[in-house]
Chains A and B, each alone.
Chain A
Amino acid sequence: MSAVNTIRAERIKAFTVRSTWWNIVLTLVLSIGLSLLICVAVVATWGDTTTEDRATVQDDALEILLSGYFFGIVVMLVLGVMVMTSEYQNAMIRTTFVAEPRRVPMFAAKSLVVAVIAAGVAALFLAGSYVGGSLILGVRDIDVSLDVPGGARSFFGIVPFFVLAALFSLALGAILRSTAAAITIVVLLYLVIPNLVLLIPKYGEEISAAFPFMAGVIFLDPSPSSVYGPWAGLGIFVAYVVALWGLAAYLLKRRDA
């Protein structure tokens, strides 16, 4: 059972369930679609926009054009969860462990496959949003350039953000072994809790910034957060993913199947 064989097996597994394809397509449609929709909205209301607001739009053009990632990635999280939890349907996981008894290498191969899918989807999102968004915004002569403060980071940072988000949900799926539970928790962690804790007076922002996905969002945000810098954000996100992945690998090895 060489590493190459294990990776091939995990690649076949990932692409032979429909949910993977659905999730890839849906992530792209949602993220690119929302990005372009917002661009269209900006262009359509351009006549009613004050000069002052037009300047702001010009400054934030890149951010506007990438804004669709925030919701599109929810589907990417579902993909990460399902690549793992699909193993726990019926007694599938036993077949997996019988064919690939070295469980941590199996999980590593699965993680690699998911990371490559996430990176590919992120690249397609960037290409689609950039090309489509530039064309749409170009109608009003709004320039889109990476050559703005934090521009390259928030643009290319989408790739590690997608990869880390997918690996986070993969690991959560491995720990919880239930699609419903893992998706619920990951969506709560991504969309709900960090925004709810913002309501806490005084320390709300600090507490919110301590959550994994918020750290990732701070990394992507071209304008600096008041809590910590963008690279610290990436570091925190990575640390969360590494810790969760480690726990998942440990439990996979320990648990009876």
Chain B
Amino acid sequence: MISARGLSKRYGSTLAVNDLSFDVKAGEVTGFLGPNGAGKSTTMRLILGLDRPASGTATINGKRYAELANPLREVGSVLDAKQVNDGRTGRNHLRWMAASNGIARSRVDEVLEMVGLTSAASKRAGGYSLGMSQRLGIAGALLGDPGVLMFDEPVNGLDPEGIVWIRTFMQHLAGQGRTVFVSSHLLSEMSQTASHLIVIGRGQLIADTSTAEVIRSSSSNFTRVRAEGLASFVDVLKSRGLNAELDGDAALVEGAETDVVGRLAAEVGVTLLELSAQRASLEEAFMELTRDAVEYHADPSIPGHAGTEGGTQ
């Protein structure tokens, strides 16, 4: 399990991560969601001990990363697609990684097989495509058969086939009871892989809840209406208890179905010029959620979150 407690990181005058606390629970895919620059990669680097936090701690299975005796056996991670020297073959890259953590050499060929890189294993990594590099990274993450896996934006730049492969693979890994912590700036991507979401903006926690809850609470549907005598029709809608307001030459009715508005128009004899359902996309909803990131604060009462774990260390 991954735990962050009061994690902060400052780059010059920018507070990249600000007092972040969360737990990533075992046996499910937890999405780490936030717009670009929200501090996701920084947080992951702090968890892996690559960067030093200004304050706070990050632990994996109760230990700081540097305290893990053989870290690759407990945590597998892919932070960058290209995290290998171009001159080394894929197999040799995995060989030194295995040696560093006392992992049997036979495991190298096993993980190469797992990610489908066997045929390219003797080629130098400089010639790998982005998808192949990503697979090599994942092979490295799986070397030590770790219970915890971390991926930073794993689908970035991949072709559709690669995206589907990664998505399926992550669910497969979680299905084996592993903890999978994966970051993305796309809610639509996360909604298909993650069952739990930790949402951050400007380095702060915005939400820590189930994916279904995030989608439900942030999705918003409107009915867009243009009609003759629009202003008075809006008054009619309001008098029927609908939340309607003028928006330029049209009116927006929150949540209402087009059927309801259409029948109402017929009832009061209003000529409709336009009637359409407006569905905010997941991405719009997400932008809405994170736009004023600093106005949102972690709500410890949101179900399914820390606090049950006994609080800060």
| A residues whose Cβ falls under 8 Å from a Cβ of B | 1-2, 5-6, 8-10, 12-13, 16-19, 86-87, 89-92, 94-95, 97-102, 254, 256-257
Contacts and interface: CB of A to CB of B under 8 A. Distances in A.
A256 B45 contact: yes
B110 to A, nearest CB: 17
Nearest to A17: B87
A12 B101 contact: no
B66 interface: yes
A16 B70 contact: no
Main secondary structure of the interface of B (DSSP, over half): loop
Contacts of B52: 254, 256
Minimum-distance CB pairs A-B, first 6 = A9-B100, A91-B80, A16-B92, A12-B96, A256-B51, A90-B82
A45 to B, nearest CB: 44
B48 A8 contact: no
Given A16-B92, A94-B80, A256-B50, 5 more contacts: A2-B102, A90-B82, A91-B80, A98-B79, A99-B71
Given A17-B88, A91-B83, A101 B45 contact: no
B235 interface: no
Contacts of A90: 80, 82-86
A254 B50 CA distance: 10
A3 B97 CA distance: 14
Interface string B32-66: 00000000000001001111100000000000011
Given A1-B102, A12-B96, A94-B79, A257 B84 contact: no
Contacts of A19: 87
A86 B45 CA distance: 21
Contacts of B72: 98-99
Nearest to B52: A256
B86 A89 contact: yes
Contacts of B83: 90-92, 94-95
Contacts of B86: 89-90
A23 to B, nearest CB: 13
Interface in B92-137: 92-93, 95-97, 99-102
A90 B85 CA distance: 7
Contacts of A97: 48-50
B140 interface: yes
Task: Name which of A16, A98, A257 has the most chain B CB atoms within 10 A of its CB.
Answer: A98
Given A12-B92, A257-B50, A257-B51, A100 B100 contact: yes
30 contacts: A1-B101, A1-B102, A6-B100, A9-B99, A10-B96, A13-B88, A16-B92, A16-B93, A16-B96, A17-B87, A18-B87, A19-B87, A87-B85, A89-B85, A90-B84, A90-B86, A91-B80, A94-B45, A95-B84, A95-B93, A98-B48, A98-B50, A98-B71, A99-B71, A101-B66, A102-B66, A254-B52, A256-B50, A257-B45, A257-B50
B184 interface: no
Interface in B182-222: none
Most buried by A among B68, B69, B79, B99: B99
B89 interface: yes
A19 to B, nearest CB: 7
A93 to B, nearest CB: 9
A102 B49 CA distance: 10
A100 B97 CA distance: 9
B77 interface: yes
A107 to B, nearest CB: 13
A100 B49 CA distance: 11
A141 B273 CA distance: 112
Given A1-B69, A256-B50, A16 B140 contact: no
A174 B100 CA distance: 20
A8 B83 CA distance: 20
B291 to A, nearest CB: 29
